[in-house]
Amino acid sequence: MNIVLQQFLIEVPQAVAIWSALLVLSLSVLAVLVARPDRDRAPDEEPAPGSSAALAAAAAADLRRYADEVAVAATGATQTARRRRSEWLAAQAEVDLAWQAYDEAETAARRFTGADAMPTPRTPRTPAEYAQRERWLHQAAMAAHWRGELTARQLSDVFGHRDGWDPRRHPAEQEVTLARAVRDGRLAGYRGAAERERSAWRAAELAAESARALSAEAYAAAQRLRVAPASRPRTVPASTSTPARTATRWRPARVG
């Protein structure tokens, strides 16, 4: 139980920090894309074809298209990372439940420690006694199966008298064997859940890293598009218009 708690205390703060950084980076990319000034360009500001301005505009269009594509990819990667993180959290919850089930089965099996050294109760060795022992074993195995403690395969082994299940043994011995089989099954279930949780964690880490890389690239592309010369709106300087109005102002003729 201490191992699970230690993993929780170490991995969850790391996941929170990763997702906080990813959220800040995504919001930055969105803010740059929304504030992009080249969306409001007037039609009469388009440069003439074949000019250097036209080539610069074409390059800016390519950059704009690339920035849009990377932004879409970053959004998809962020959604995938969220889905992978949800899957990891679900797998972590499964590990906690599997560990709790194993701990309970281990506690139950521990009650029979030293039972092998105790003498088996003496009962008459008659066909009726053996039939009663077999019925007890089958009923106990069926009850354990309905509680989810034995799998269908284990139950089949009980009824088929395979894998060490001997209906001729005394119910006291069968009870010890049944408790240990439940414990071993719970341990195998916990190990499988832990392996799935590790796989889900690795998948979530890879998805988060991909989302971070794409978000950073989208932010960089949006920044390059923002400072591109062709994306800046053209403005007429105030110094070129004011003298023209002053020079054409009407003046009265001087009288000689």
| pLDDT above 60: residue 253 | no
Instruction: Check whether 81 has a pLDDT greater than 70.
Output: yes
Are 251 and 77 within 8 A, CB to CB? Answer: no
Say whether pLDDT at 247 is over 70.
no
User: Taking all residues of the chain, what is their mean pLDDT, rounded to a whole number?
Assistant: 76
* Full DSSP string of 192-246: HHHHHHHHHHHHHHHHHHHHHHHHHHHHHHHHHHHT-GGGSPP---HHHHHHHHH
Three-state SS at 149 = coil
DSSP state at residue 251:
-
Helix (H, G, I), strand (E, B) or coil at 29: helix
The pLDDT assigned to 29 comes to 54
Give residue 59's pLDDT: 74
Percentage of the chain with pLDDT > 70? Answer: 64
pLDDT given at position 126 = 84
Please tell me the predicted confidence (pLDDT) of residue 114.
64
With beta carbons less than 8 A apart as the criterion, state whether 74 and 40 touch. Answer: no
Q: Is the alpha carbon torsion for 176, 182, 186, 188 positive or negative?
A: positive
- pLDDT above 90: residue 163: no
Rounded Cα distance, 68 and 72, in Å = 6
Each residue's pLDDT tens digit, 213-222: 999 998 888 8
Q: Is the pLDDT of residue 113 over 80?
A: no
Which pair of structure tokens corresponds to residue 151? 């799998």
200, two tokens: 């889900």
- For residues 184 and 64, the answer to whether their CB atoms sit within 8 Å is no
Judged against a pLDDT cut of 70, whether residue 50 lies above it is answered with no
CA pair distance 181, 195, nearest whole angstrom: 21
Contact criterion met (CB below 8 Å) for 232 and 45: no
Helix then strand count (H, E) for the chain reads 6, 0
Checking if the pLDDT of 209 tops 90, the result is: yes
pLDDT in tens, 120-151: 666 677 888 889 989 999 999 999 999 998 99
Return the half-sphere exposure (C-beta side, CA atoms, 13 A cut-off) of residue 151: 10
Residues 6+ apart with CB under 8 A from 88: 197, 200, 201, 203, 204
Query: Of 92, 172, 93, nearest to 140 (Cα)?
Result: 172
- pLDDT band of 83, cuts 50, 70, 90: very high
Place of tokens 């949006």: 222
Higher pLDDT, 228 or 172: 172
Higher local confidence (pLDDT), 239 or 58: 58
Query: Alpha-carbon distance 108 to 165, whole Å?
Result: 19
Contact 215, 26 (CB under 8 A): yes
Contact 158, 141 (CB under 8 A): yes
**Per-residue model confidence (pLDDT) at position 186:** 94
